[in-house]
A and B are shown apart, each in its own frame.
Chain A
Amino acid sequence: MTMKKAALLTLTAALATLAACSKPEPPNIGYAPYDKGYQSKMDLAQVDYKYPIPPAELAKITPDYLAKLEQEQLDQLYARLAAGPIPDGAFDGRILLPRGESGKFRLTEIVGGFSGTLLHLKGLVIEDIGEALWRGKVFYRDERVLRNRIEDLSILKKMGLVEGEPKKMQYGGKETWLLFPAKLYCGQSLLDARRESIIIDYFFTDEIPGYQESPDYLAGRRGLKVRDEIRMIRPGFYLGRAYLDRGFALNFTLYDKATDERLRDEFVKTGQVQEDCWPGTQARITVASSKP
């Protein structure tokens, strides 16, 4: 080996190492084995019991990590989370679209609730609309209200679903649409009953101050009947599930960088966090590190 080749190899190795260092370390999270059929999925209580996730591993989860998971893995992960505190302030949102095997869509992805089906009839795909429209959520914890940050209404306008120009609201020093108001409360998860989730419920959206019939009705009871539920991965980072007319539609994440950076180390150290919702009665196991 020549010096030049050796230097090149060293440089390559160094670059590789640097590259690795620049990537966040993936979490070491175990998942119960499963097969295709619903019967093959392990009871969520047992998943929680047998595959506990240490706070240090929760702290490593990123939206990119979640985006690569299959739906069953997301379900298992969600079930091992607690609701945590009802959030306050603005969170960035991202829709997670786990696909079925070989990219084929699954029935649930097709159906997306009864109301969502009608959007399909118009040649629309809910998640595509969501990606284009939705930027995140703003929680008004004290009022137990939530509004969605929307930056582009053009798609909905083209579809004739929005007439006129909804009023913008001041948020974070700039004017934006804060649309689709929802009620915020602790309630039942439609996936995992063992402890409550934080529910974002649009059914009575028209009762919330600032409601604008068009386009806000779209998420309410005369629209898609949206009901979201979220659980905390770590402070400032939540995993959510969106349902349309009680039918599961998609997963999403909510992230507040400032809160995450401020509270992450303490969370890893103590695992302590405020629980605003009923945490259930299943004892949760403390583990120093996971051994999937």
Chain B
Amino acid sequence: MKRTPLAALAALVVIAAVAAHQFGSRPVGDVLAQNAPPAASPPAMAGQPKPEASLIDQDAPYHEACARQGLSQSECVGRLIWFKATAGNERFHTYTFQQRIGVLVDWFRVLRADQRDDRFWAWGIINDPACCKPGDPDCPAKSAEETYGFDWCPGDDVLLKYVGKPGYVDPACGLQDAPLDADDPHSKGGQRDQRHSPCDLKFGTSTGALGLRKFPNPRFDAAKWQALNGGNASWSGFATSKFAATGVDSDQRASKLADASVEPPFLIGTTCGSCHIAFDPLNPPADPAHPKWENIKGLIGNQYTRMSELLGSGMPKSALEYQMFAHARPGVTDTSALSHDQINNPGTINALINLAQRPVFKGETVTKWRKVTTCGDQKDEAKCWCEPGRDGKCWQMSTRDDDTTPVNLGGQKVVLPGVHHILKGGEDSTGALEAIQRVYFNIGSCSEQCWVNHFSDMRQVDPEQRGFGQTPFNVGQCRRDCPNFRAVEDRLQTILDFFASAESDQTDLAAARANERRARQPAAAYSASDLAADLEKEFGKGAVGRGQAVFADNCARCHSSIPESAGGAFATRDFAAPNEAHPRKIRADFLGNDQSTPVTEVGTFRCRALHSNHRAGHLYMEYASDSMRQRAMVADIPERNELKDGGRGYLRNVSLVNVWATAPFMHNNAIGPEICGKPANPDNDFHRARYVGADGKLLASQPDCLRYDPTVDGRFELYKRSMHELLHPKERGTKRTLTNADLIIDVGIRPLEGKTEKPLLGFGQVRIPAGTSAGFLNGLQHKQLVADLFLAKRHPDKLEAAGKKNQLATLQAMADEVLKQPARFVDILRERRDFLSANYETCTEEIENAGHRFGEDLSEADKKALTAFLATL
């Protein structure tokens, strides 16, 4: 075969596969750049720059919240960081995501002040109570022209002065750090503050939505911006397609947002709070679009956020990337969406409740960096490294099985005797502090310095080239090269202290109802007994007590953190009993043992259990324990061994604490009603039909979605309906995520004839009709397919040697067909769907709400009883 046909074959297969993927100085440099940050920020105590004072102290409501909840100084600092620190990811969300990964975010669409009242309903994100709409009474900004169309937020009187100019001193530089921890080896017994400058936490100011922060862009060119947008109040010229200007069809899919020569006024960063900040179940807002600070908590997790749609907000629905990224349910996000592993595995944002009671695991083999005061004779920096310019601030890489987790509880240090299992499959398993640091990677911090170079490049099909597959990023390198990493790492304990603070304490339904009643009548009371009485009115006499027995018999094996060997028989257990040793006497039982259960036993959406980023050689390798990776392979998972090895195949048994407040259920929120925002702006209505019939196609009539309702009654109603579905699997319907628009990829050279494109070779567009399985597209191993098609034509012997003799004939036939009729390649792949599923799919599961059928055989009375009982926990 000649080169050209082969080239054409390989090339077309790439197109087809990706299409299918959607469907079925030494100072060399004297840093003069106005945008250049310092290579390393100075130590915290050494001449740290001071932020300019602003009209309104943006920290004031945070300090008030700390006081309201009785948080210690460390807990409060941790809270401030959790809510505000982007750790430098504003570059990721403004430049890297768009240019390197190719996904466009329309930040103005999400954050425009004139749609502030609709923001929650559209995007599920929570308005910052401290911000205001320009022009509103008492708002310091009188016009959106002053704020580039965004809300005005405390600190903006300073920040706005630096749009288009260098010299902004980040408010994080003014952070008053927590007292030193005397037990920290780097603090010299609490005598020496060697923490990295807090400036690199990068707070900026609020965008108007909690967890989304803005920073002045020194590269901003006001004249160019105004010419593009007709002023400062709107980003309309930036966030528009080229179609209006050219009238060419394909330009409907060419957004000006892709023009990276345009510098917006702000860089936008995200904090951990962007997903975790939520309405307080104990004190929900009267109007979700206008919450007050006392309605907000930082750890329960936002059940409504549409983070995937937000991050794809600049893409047309027809875009490949949109259909890849933007199909998670509200409250669900795929943490491997950015660091893509080609497995469709979105997961809910974990509710962080009663953290001190969460199980830890002793004796796990963990290889990681640990703090030491010297490296001794060890010169190998891969084994031990000391930060230059510091006194004995060193880390040693070691493998141990005796790690513990110290937490400050009410001013008292408690050492939990092991490490946590975190993430849906317990993959994150090297320690709580490391897990928090890992979250900062998830949100894009240090992406350029440490992370993105290790991604798999979807367009790199040559296994000899960088980017063909993931490689593990190196925590030691990141510590050395990324100042934001160090700024966070030196404060991880304060964040963990916040996790264990009163803000994570249980939010029981009885307490929520008591608050409701007190709001109406200050003298009103409502106790746990009152709740039980009310539940029994609804679910039957004796329902709570009976439900406890049902729970003990059927659920506690996985959903109690205190095994019978330690806490006595479940049958006689008070699952609500407090931990008397805890300073706030929170519930002793975490109501989940965090142990791993084979996904085939649980039966829920399998793809999440096949998540691969923590495998050896993959991106997050350093954040998984050796013990985790040594978990036995789950033999009855139908995927091929190489898709389920390395400790995969399990789901972690989750906590049921306050399950009344966190429905729908399962790791993908798929069991229970579909929820939606019904925003006023129909363009921002992201609800999609997911109920399918036996043929796998969408039902003509879809059940109504349940509008977001964070009130006590709203949460409880959602809980009841979700419990009903959980316990009545036959009434769940069948949910499957399909593409919700024709997927269009404009390819090839397309000269114009007038306004009409006349593509060379007669075709210039790949179109994949709406209704294709999003999971299939996500999971197609197009690189392997390309390589095998290549070998099938050129080196069939090598394919046979690789054990793929049985695939050879089909691959050769496919290659021949594609070469013969390139315009048919989408159809060719569709016709080979079964072959592709069997050989080139990472996960073949497509039904999202199956499984967890435990309890379906209970009597109706027992199902009601169980529903009543769980509502009390």
Q: Do A and B come from one complex?
A: yes
**Complex: how many Å from CA A288 to CA B469?**
36
Q: Is A283 in the interface zone, CB < 8 Å from B?
A: yes
Q: Are A187 and B790 in contact (CB under 8 A)?
A: no
Q: Are B464 and A106 in contact (CB under 8 A)?
A: yes
Q: Are B752 and A120 in contact (CB under 8 A)?
A: no
Q: Are A110 and B749 in contact (CB under 8 A)?
A: no
Q: Are B30 and A116 in contact (CB under 8 A)?
A: no
Q: Is A2 in the interface zone, CB < 8 Å from B?
A: no
Q: Which residues of chain A are near B31, meaning CB under 8 Å?
A: 275, 279
Q: Which residues of chain A are near B761, meaning CB under 8 Å?
A: 118, 121-122
Binds B, one of A31-39, A132-140, A165-173, A254-262: A31-39
Q: Are A223 and B749 in contact (CB under 8 A)?
A: yes
Q: Are A187 and B4 in contact (CB under 8 A)?
A: no
Q: Could you mark each residue 20-37 of chain B with 1 if its beta carbon is under 8 Å from any beta carbon of chain A, else 0?
A: 000001111111110111
Among A110, A115, A279, the residue within 8 A (CB) of B33 is A279
**Complex: how many Å from CA A54 to CA B28?**
8
Report, as a range, how many residues of chain B touch the other chain: 35 or more
**Complex: how many Å from CA A247 to CA B26?**
32
The residue of chain A having its C-beta at the shortest distance from the C-beta of B100 within the complex is A188
- B734-791: which residues lie under 8 A (CB-CB) from chain A? 745-752, 757, 760-761, 786-787, 790
Q: Are A203 and B259 in contact (CB under 8 A)?
A: yes
Q: Are A37 and B463 in contact (CB under 8 A)?
A: yes
Q: How many A-B residue pairs have CB under 8 A?
A: 253
Q: Are B3 and A280 in contact (CB under 8 A)?
A: no
Contacts A194-B453, A213-B752, A281-B449 known; A120 to B100 CB distance under 8 Å? no
Q: Are A285 and B26 in contact (CB under 8 A)?
A: yes
The residue of chain A having its C-beta at the shortest distance from the C-beta of B763 within the complex is A118
Q: Are B254 and A221 in contact (CB under 8 A)?
A: yes
Contacts A52-B26, A121-B822 known; A248 to B449 CB distance under 8 Å? no
Q: Is B462 in the interface zone, CB < 8 Å from A?
A: yes
Q: Is A175 in the interface zone, CB < 8 Å from B?
A: no
B482 to chain A, nearest CB (A): 6
**Complex: how many Å from CA A286 to CA B39?**
14
Q: Which residues of chain B are near A206, meaning CB under 8 Å?
A: 246
Q: Is A75 in the interface zone, CB < 8 Å from B?
A: yes
B1 to chain A, nearest CB (A): 12
Q: Which residues of chain A are near B251, meaning CB under 8 Å?
A: 221
Q: Are B481 and A222 in contact (CB under 8 A)?
A: no
With most chain A CB atoms within 10 A of its CB, the pick from B18, B29, B460, B617 is B29
Among B35, B459, B473, B787, the residue within 8 A (CB) of A113 is B459
The residue of chain A having its C-beta at the shortest distance from the C-beta of B12 within the complex is A117
Q: Is A14 in the interface zone, CB < 8 Å from B?
A: no
With most chain B CB atoms within 10 A of its CB, the pick from A111, A193, A194, A223 is A193
Q: Which residues of chain A are near B258, meaning CB under 8 Å?
A: 203-204
Q: Is B261 in the interface zone, CB < 8 Å from A?
A: yes
With most chain B CB atoms within 10 A of its CB, the pick from A54, A105, A110 is A110
**Complex: how many Å from CA A188 to CA B36?**
14
Q: Are B259 and A192 in contact (CB under 8 A)?
A: no
With most chain B CB atoms within 10 A of its CB, the pick from A46, A270, A277 is A46
Q: Is B360 in the interface zone, CB < 8 Å from A?
A: no
Q: Is A25 in the interface zone, CB < 8 Å from B?
A: no
Q: Could you mark each residue 183-223 of chain A with 1 if its beta carbon is under 8 Å from any beta carbon of chain B, else 0?
A: 11111111111110001010110100000011001100111
Q: Which residues of chain B are near A279, meaning CB under 8 Å?
A: 29, 31, 33, 36, 39
Q: Which residues of chain B are near A114, meaning CB under 8 Å?
A: 11, 14-15, 18, 459, 745, 747-748
Q: Is A22 in the interface zone, CB < 8 Å from B?
A: no
Q: Is A102 in the interface zone, CB < 8 Å from B?
A: no
Q: Are B466 and A193 in contact (CB under 8 A)?
A: no
Q: Which residues of chain A are near B822, meaning CB under 8 Å?
A: 121
A211 to chain B, nearest CB (A): 12
Q: Are B11 and A116 in contact (CB under 8 A)?
A: yes
Q: Could you mark each residue 115-149 of chain A with 1 if its beta carbon is under 8 Å from any beta carbon of chain B, else 0?
A: 11111111100000000000000000000100000
Q: Is B139 in the interface zone, CB < 8 Å from A?
A: no
Q: Are A248 and B460 in contact (CB under 8 A)?
A: yes
Q: Is A152 in the interface zone, CB < 8 Å from B?
A: no
Q: Are A273 and B29 in contact (CB under 8 A)?
A: yes
Q: Which residues of chain B are near A119, meaning CB under 8 Å?
A: 749
Contacts A44-B453, A118-B761 known; A194 to B15 CB distance under 8 Å? no
Q: Is B324 in the interface zone, CB < 8 Å from A?
A: no
Q: Are B28 and A284 in contact (CB under 8 A)?
A: yes
Contacts A117-B8, A221-B254, A278-B35 known; A284 to B259 CB distance under 8 Å? no
Q: Could you mark each residue 31-63 of chain B with 1 if its beta carbon is under 8 Å from any beta carbon of chain A, else 0?
A: 111011101100000000000000000000000
Q: Could you mark each residue 279-316 of chain B with 1 if its beta carbon is under 8 Å from any beta carbon of chain A, else 0?
A: 00000000000000000000000000000000000000
Q: Could you mark each residue 59-90 of chain A with 1 if its beta carbon is under 8 Å from any beta carbon of chain B, else 0?
A: 00000000000011001000001101000000
Q: Is B524 in the interface zone, CB < 8 Å from A?
A: no
Q: Is A10 in the interface zone, CB < 8 Å from B?
A: no
Q: Is A161 in the interface zone, CB < 8 Å from B?
A: yes
Q: Is B526 in the interface zone, CB < 8 Å from A?
A: no
Q: Are A217 and B747 in contact (CB under 8 A)?
A: no
Q: Could you mark each residue 585-601 of chain B with 1 if its beta carbon is under 8 Å from any beta carbon of chain A, else 0?
A: 00000000000000000
Q: Is A108 in the interface zone, CB < 8 Å from B?
A: yes
Q: Are B40 and A283 in contact (CB under 8 A)?
A: yes
Count residues on chain A whose CB falls below 8 Å from chain B CBs.
89
The residue of chain B having its C-beta at the shortest distance from the C-beta of A145 within the complex is B261
**Complex: how many Å from CA A195 to CA B28?**
13
Q: Is B467 in the interface zone, CB < 8 Å from A?
A: yes
B12 to chain A, nearest CB (A): 6
The residue of chain A having its C-beta at the shortest distance from the C-beta of B3 within the complex is A105
Q: Is B7 in the interface zone, CB < 8 Å from A?
A: yes
Q: Is A92 in the interface zone, CB < 8 Å from B?
A: no
Q: Is B474 in the interface zone, CB < 8 Å from A?
A: yes
Q: Which residues of chain B are near A144, meaning CB under 8 Å?
A: 261
B790 to chain A, nearest CB (A): 7
**Complex: how many Å from CA A110 to CA B787?**
12
The residue of chain A having its C-beta at the shortest distance from the C-beta of B454 within the complex is A43
The residue of chain B having its C-beta at the shortest distance from the C-beta of A46 within the complex is B477
Q: Are A71 and B749 in contact (CB under 8 A)?
A: no
Among B14, B250, B256, B617, the residue within 8 A (CB) of A222 is B250
Q: Are A217 and B464 in contact (CB under 8 A)?
A: no
Contacts A194-B449, A222-B750 known; A275 to B33 CB distance under 8 Å? yes
Q: Is B490 in the interface zone, CB < 8 Å from A?
A: no
Q: Are B465 and A183 in contact (CB under 8 A)?
A: no
Q: Are B40 and A71 in contact (CB under 8 A)?
A: no
Q: Which residues of chain A are near B519, meaning CB under 8 Å?
A: none
Among A44, A71, A112, A246, the residue within 8 A (CB) of B465 is A71
Among A38, A120, A221, A278, the residue within 8 A (CB) of B469 is A38
A259 to chain B, nearest CB (A): 16
**Complex: how many Å from CA A46 to CA B460?**
22
The residue of chain A having its C-beta at the shortest distance from the C-beta of B41 within the complex is A281
Q: Are A246 and B259 in contact (CB under 8 A)?
A: no
**Complex: how many Å from CA A277 to CA B8?**
38
The residue of chain B having its C-beta at the shortest distance from the C-beta of A117 within the complex is B11
Q: Is B105 in the interface zone, CB < 8 Å from A?
A: no
The residue of chain A having its C-beta at the shortest distance from the C-beta of B464 within the complex is A36
Contacts A45-B477, A46-B474, A217-B751 known; A184 to B33 CB distance under 8 Å? no
Q: Is A224 in the interface zone, CB < 8 Å from B?
A: yes
Among B3, B453, B469, B786, the residue within 8 A (CB) of A45 is B453
Among A43, A223, A273, the residue within 8 A (CB) of B30 is A273
Q: Are A287 and B749 in contact (CB under 8 A)?
A: no
**Complex: how many Å from CA A194 to CA B33?**
16
16 A-B contacts, Cβ less than 8 Å apart? A38-B469, A75-B466, A108-B461, A111-B14, A114-B459, A184-B261, A187-B95, A188-B260, A214-B751, A222-B750, A271-B25, A272-B29, A279-B39, A281-B40, A281-B481, A281-B482
Which 10 A-B pairs rank lowest in CB-CB distance, beginning with the nearest?
A: A117-B11, A286-B26, A188-B99, A118-B748, A282-B481, A193-B452, A120-B7, A275-B29, A38-B468, A107-B462
| B interface residue numbers (CB < 8 A to A) | 3-4, 6-8, 10-12, 14-15, 18, 25-33, 35-37, 39-40, 91, 95-96, 99-100, 102, 219, 242, 246, 248, 250-251, 254, 256, 258-261, 447-454, 457, 459-469, 471, 473-474, 477, 480-483, 617, 745-752, 757, 760-761, 786-787, 790, 822
